[in-house]
A = this chain, B = another copy of it.
Amino acid sequence: MVTEKTISFNRGVPSVRSFPTDQIKECAGAILSTDAHTVLQYGKPLGYMPLREHIAGWYGVSPDEVLISNGSLQILEFLSTIFLQPGDTVFVEQPTYDRTVVSFRRHAANIVSIPVQSDGPDAKVLAERLRAVVPKFFYTIPDFQNPTGVTTSLANRQEIVRLAAEYDFWILEDAPYRPLRYRGTDVASMWSLSPDRVMHLSSFTKLLSPGLRVGYVVAAADVIQAIGPIAANTYVCPGLLAEGIVYEFCRRGWLKPNIDRLKQLYRPKLDATVGALQEHLPDASWTEPEGGYFVGVTMPQGTSIGALLEKARTVGLILSDGRGFFAEGGGDRFLRLAFPALSVQEIHEGISRLARLVTGR
């Protein structure tokens, strides 16, 4: 019988308290006053032009190099459609974001995993794998990786980019958490190191709201052009009112203060997660993240994730199955702890429950 309040470390979702609801409401009213004939009508498959221009400004590129869609996963699906023939190889990190692997598998891709260490994907293993097969692209989450929380070092990024040039493959840089850095300093994005070879995905899901479903990709204009007809024949155009609201939010200069607010909100939760792990599970191992949503934890020797998940439910603890993040098997001792939607108190209580299950005390 569960007598305690259920605590879920399972889903990488923001806290509902994080939503700038009143500001979003104001932006909805504003865009419907100034540009209703555009945002309520059919539009271009590449997205709402004022927002494309605004994002292009951030990156110092032309709007032709920006496409906006209903979340960045949808863009990943488009890129798979364009780049992948059945049997083509894709490199991913190990562990990696599970939904991406599902998308690649749906396109019958051959998945090769590159282990993630404390400074990002192991470039030596990457080089070894490349001698056997060259992928269409390498899918990587360099900032506060999902699910490990690891940030790829600059040296590592440079080496990956160099290998991409040498072996001629694309890098798919998924960077939705990048602006949520709680400490330390930004590492140059893969895209900035090699804009011709990197497709940079990001979104407003973690910075504003998931329900709006607004994600984007910055890539070479010919890649963006190639997505156009596929997007048109999938959904005619993306959700334009949502894009108009996001545009209005950005145009007013509200995004940066909102990100600052989110950092204030989430930093103590990251600290609580790491602190509680140190206190209750000193035999587990993890890389301390400098931002983002997750701490990836390898549990002590002897832990079986399947049994742990079952037991956890009996004490009101919902954990994600770490094995889901390992495309080629493994992860039997891996847990992804998502902290943003939990309170500091829930984090302490949850990790304390977890420790009792693991240590049997």
Interface residues of A (CB under 8 A from B): 11, 13-14, 16, 19, 21, 24-25, 28-29, 32-33, 36-43, 70-71, 73-74, 77, 81, 99, 102-103, 106, 209-213, 232-242, 245
Give Cα A320 to B233, complex, Å.
17
Whether B21 lies near A32 (C-beta < 8 A) is yes
Query: A40-B21, A236-B99 in contact; A211/B28 too (CB < 8 A)?
Result: no
Whether B42 lies near A19 (C-beta < 8 A) is no
Whether B239 lies near A213 (C-beta < 8 A) is yes
Whether A40 lies near B24 (C-beta < 8 A) is yes
Given contact pairs A16-B37, A77-B234, a sample of 11 additional A-B residue pairs in the complex whose CB atoms are under 8 Å apart: A11-B42, A39-B211, A41-B210, A42-B210, A70-B70, A70-B213, A77-B235, A99-B236, A211-B237, A213-B238, A241-B242
Residues of B within 8 A of A238 (CB): 70, 213
Among B71, B233, B240, the residue within 8 A (CB) of A211 is: B240
10 CB-based A-B contacts, threshold 8 Å: A13-B42, A25-B33, A70-B235, A71-B236, A73-B233, A77-B234, A77-B235, A210-B236, A213-B240, A239-B242
Whether B210 lies near A38 (C-beta < 8 A) is no
Looking at the assembled complex, report how far the CB atom of A97 sits from the nearest CB atom of chain B, in whole angstroms.
11
Whether A13 lies near B41 (C-beta < 8 A) is yes
